[in-house]
């Protein structure tokens, strides 16, 4: 009889404890949802939450490097010799750093700066050219003669722009310093001569309470 009462008491205690647990869980979930805040920001505003390579870094490096390249003597020398603007293509960008960097995003930023400068002609990269060739083949078969784009009319590139990413890291107690270095070079495709070389480094210091690492 005593054992039955004890068992009944334990059963009676479990119900309010379970109710209290569910109430605390609901309160925690409500608090988390109330703490979430989403706001729109200016897409041109530089926001850096982690110190990693980001869209702002990509755009700024592309702008600085292309500007430096187009101010170099190779451009005026070519125009004077050929009486025309050179044609440039963007080649391979290798990521030799220890972090993820979107080479595709950086290449697009480079392409945009080159095209918008108006100082050089620019041709599409290999994958884009292949897609265009397939389109011309389809037009040759299915489009009228007067509207189909002609074959074998591509503009060959005179120069190729390529580069490589590197990173270096330092860490001391609660501080980290990360340097992102981009080396670029412009190569004369006919002679393999490097006509311009440039380098740009972005250094970031990330401070954090050492006890939260």
- Same domain, yes or no: 23 and 72: no
Helix axes 103-117, 55-71, angle to 10 degrees: 40
- The tokens describing 86, both together, are 């050179």
Residue 74's pLDDT is 96
- Same domain, yes or no: 109 and 199: yes
- Same domain, yes or no: 105 and 206: yes
Number of separate domains in the chain: 2
- Same domain, yes or no: 108 and 24: no
Residue 89's H or E segment, with its range, is: strand 87-95
Boundaries of domain holding 97: 55-122+156-212
pLDDT digits (tens, 9 = 90+) for 123-160: 866 665 555 446 555 555 555 665 544 544 456 789 99
Is 41 among the domain residues?
A: no
Is 42 among the domain residues?
A: no
117, 66 contact by CB (below 8 A): yes
Is 143 among the domain residues?
A: no
Is 145 among the domain residues?
A: no
Residue 212's pLDDT is 46
- Same domain, yes or no: 14 and 85: no
Q: What is the CATH number of the domain that holds 82?
A: 3.40.50
Is 128 among the domain residues?
A: no
Q: Phi and psi of 104, rounded to 5°? A: -65, -45
pLDDT digits (tens, 9 = 90+) for 154-185: 567 899 999 999 999 888 877 888 899 999 99
- Same domain, yes or no: 186 and 91: yes
- Same domain, yes or no: 13 and 102: no
Residue 167, strand partner residues: 180
Residue 2's pLDDT is 46
Q: pTM, whole model, 2 decimals?
A: 0.68
């Amino acid at each position: 009889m005593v054992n039955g009462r004890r068992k009944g008491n334990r059963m009676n205690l479990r119900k309010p404890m379970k109710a209290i647990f569910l109430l605390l869980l609901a309160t925690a979930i409500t608090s988390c949802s109330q703490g979430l805040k989403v706001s729109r920001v200016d897409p041109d505003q530089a926001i850096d939450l982690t110190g990693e390579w980001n869209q702002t870094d990509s755009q700024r490096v592309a702008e600085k490097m292309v500007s430096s390249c187009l101010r170099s003597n190779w451009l005026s020398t070519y125009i004077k010799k050929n009486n025309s603007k050179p044609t440039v293509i963007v080649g391979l960008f290798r990521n030799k750093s220890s972090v993820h960097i979107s080479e595709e995003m950086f290449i697009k930023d480079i392409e945009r700066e080159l095209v918008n400068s108006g100082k050089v002609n620019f041709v599409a990269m290999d994958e884009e050219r292949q897609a265009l060739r397939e389109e011309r083949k389809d037009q040759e078969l299915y489009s009228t003669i007067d509207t189909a784009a002609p074959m074998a009319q591509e503009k060959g590139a005179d120069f190729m722009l390529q580069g490589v990413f590197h990173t270096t890291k330092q860490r001391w107690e609660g501080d980290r310093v990360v340097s992102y270095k981009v080396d670029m070079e412009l190569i004369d495709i006919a002679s393999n001569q490097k006509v311009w070389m440039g380098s740009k480094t972005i250094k970031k210091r990330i401070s954090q309470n050492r006890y939260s690492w």
